[in-house]
Amino acid sequence: MATTTIQVSQTLVEVLKGKKLYEKESYEEVIWDLIEDTQELSAETKRNIAQAEKEVREGKVHSWEDVKKELRIHV
């Protein structure tokens, strides 16, 4: 991967620092995360969301309490 240097203001550096999910996250990772947040969802993702919404409307869901009982989880 070729690397390059970009020039940004100190104000932008501070904003990017505030967007980091963890201390050692690179600014490149932060920028990719910001770009991803603005991209359109794929057709497959849209279909999956629509299917999940349909299943919720049809009551094909399980409550967390039911799942815990079924799996014998005591939280």
- 63's CB contacts (< 8 A; 6+ apart) are none
- Rounded to two decimals, what is the model's pTM? 0.55
Amino acid at 1: M
Answer whether residue 9 shows pLDDT above 90: yes
For 22-45, what is each residue's pLDDT tens digit?
999 999 999 999 999 889 999 999
Answer whether residue 64 shows pLDDT above 80: yes
Residues 5 and 10: their CA atoms lie apart, in Å, by 15
pLDDT score at 37: 85
Answer whether residue 17 shows pLDDT above 90: yes
Q: What is the DSSP letter of 21?
A: S
- Mean pLDDT (the chain) is 93
